[in-house]
Amino acid sequence: MSPTGDSAIPQRRRVLYVGHAYYNAWYLSRELRKLGWTADVLNWDPNPGNQGFYHGEDMRLDYERRFATLRHLRLFASAIRNYDIFHFSNMHGLQFSTAIHGAVDRHLQYGDEIRLLKLLGKTIVYSNNGCLDGVSQTSFASWGSTPVCNDCPWQNAPSVCSDAGNLAWGAFRNSVADYQILLGGNRTDYNVDPSIHEVPEFYCLDDELWQPDLLVPGNYRLPIPEETVKIYHAVGNATSRSEAGSMRNLKSTHIYMPLVKQLQDEGYDIELTFFQDVPNKNVRFYQSQADIVVDMLTYGWFGAGVREAMMLGKPVICYLRPEWLESMRAEIPDYVDELPIVSATPETVRDVLVDLIDNADKRREIGRRSREFAVKWHSSKAAAKRFDAIYSGLLQQEQPSPGRRLATMLEQRRAVGKA
């Protein structure tokens, strides 16, 4: 019964994921459907090079046919009627279509199509991804004693990363999002906001697709003896993400390659299996054959590849920034306490890696805990349960009147214009 004693009106449970966040939204949406939600994924990405990161969609925008902008606008109008929550992801991803976005930019101000959604009473959710997202390069480089930005080729590419650009995005993002999702504790600049929450479950995957006893097709079998300890390392878009003429990058490839060679020269029976730009659904066959997975040593957190490795039951070496762990502990203490990743820095990685090479039982135990952790925190089933509660809570919040929403929109528009 409602507070007035009348029968409660069934709440509409309709969410559209506008744009991909790797495969996270796809698997989350499939599980939400099982809980009674209308949950669809729209792929608006016009870049064919990105499609290998995605695992599925319900709608995909076509930019090649005539009248693309008109067709996209019609779909936008239909989405306004059919969905209550619009969930966006990725820096500069708060848009419905690059064609619409371009048309809007020519006549109005950046982001007005998203402000229109808010004016119409829609709920805007946003998933943060990456060090650039709302944080200036100067602020990010100040974490720790050694600037991690020195390992990034985009440090001196202001069209990709700059103080002004990153902060302008953060100001806009915070002005339109009702609820924002973060994982990694990078709390500075525009990532210090009451709308931002540590929600690891969003960054989810299918625990049946990534399982420890994964059957590997013959053409993906590595020609390496069983007794050789296989160390897996991978970089997506390695060329653009590495320093020209070297493999210096945020993934620490420039550290792992010479280290493994040094250990081999000392007599360790190990092999580095390095992969780049393998379609995401296929790379798991190589991950599953690894004994140890190694990742970033200076950044301070981990991404999709490590979550996949943990779901496959692999031990992982990756630097976990203490400051971020402490800020995360205030909101998700169990996640921090249970995290099974073995933290290492460039100075300590040799000893950490040798310890795992020498101790098969330790590798198996960490791998077991990694699988349990990933299923608990990063499976699509756990994500659906969490977002059923988050979305329901957002829809139950009292909405301001259309007049108040319009006034707020105009105020925010002026504020972002001054930023």
Full residue range of the structural domain in which residue 169 is found? 14-204+381-418
Residue 67 and residue 173 in one domain: yes
User: What CATH number is associated with residue 303?
Assistant: 3.40.50.2000
Burial of 71 (0-12, 13-18, 19+ CB in 10 A): middle
pLDDT score recorded for residue 186: 92
Closest alpha carbon to 183 in 303, 31, 293, 323? 303
Look up residue 326 and give its amino acid. E
Position 213 in a domain = no
Average pLDDT, 10 consecutive residues per value, the chain (419 residues): 40 90 95 97 85 87 83 90 96 85 59 89 95 95 89 90 96 96 94 97 97 95 97 78 73 95 98 87 95 97 96 98 96 97 97 98 98 98 98 84 58 60
Residue 231 and residue 261 in one domain: yes
Position 142 in a domain = yes
Residue 62 and residue 195 in one domain: yes
Question: Is there a contact between 353 and 292 (Cβ–Cβ < 8 Å)?
Answer: yes
The CB density around residue 62, as the number of other CB atoms within 10 Å, is 10
79-82 contact pairs (CB < 8 A, 24+)? 79/16, 79/42, 80/117, 80/120, 80/122, 82/14, 82/16, 82/38
The two structure tokens encoding residue 278: 């393998």
- Burial readout 335-359 (b: 16 or more C-beta within 10 A, e: otherwise): bbeebbbbbbeeeebeebbeebbee
Query: How many folded domains does the chain comprise?
Result: 2
Question: Is there a contact between 321 and 143 (Cβ–Cβ < 8 Å)?
Answer: yes
Residue 110 and residue 256 in one domain: no
Residue 173 and residue 320 in one domain: no
The two structure tokens encoding residue 376: 């608990």
Residue 54 and residue 200 in one domain: yes
Residue 408 and residue 291 in one domain: no
Say what the alpha-carbon torsion angle 393, 381, 337, 181 is, to the nearest 10 degrees. -40
Burial of 294 (0-12, 13-18, 19+ CB in 10 A): buried
Position 7 in a domain = no
Backbone CA torsion sign across 356, 360, 363, 365: negative
Distances (CA, A) of 410 to 50, 124, 193, 281, 346: 35, 17, 20, 44, 49
Question: Is there a contact between 386 and 201 (Cβ–Cβ < 8 Å)?
Answer: yes
Residue 107 and residue 235 in one domain: no
Position 1 in a domain = no
Residue 412 has phi, psi (to 5 degrees) of -65, -40
Residue 144 and residue 281 in one domain: no
User: What CATH number is associated with residue 180?
Assistant: 3.40.50
Closest alpha carbon to 15 in 7, 380, 31? 31
Position 4 in a domain = no
Position 131 in a domain = yes
Residue 46 and residue 105 in one domain: yes
Is the pTM higher than 0.75? The answer reads yes
235, β-bridge pairs: 276
Residue 162 and residue 299 in one domain: no
Position 393 in a domain = yes
Position 23 in a domain = yes
Question: Is there a contact between 192 and 137 (Cβ–Cβ < 8 Å)?
Answer: no
Residue 31 and residue 175 in one domain: yes
Say what the alpha-carbon torsion angle 341, 347, 353, 355 is, to the nearest 10 degrees. -100
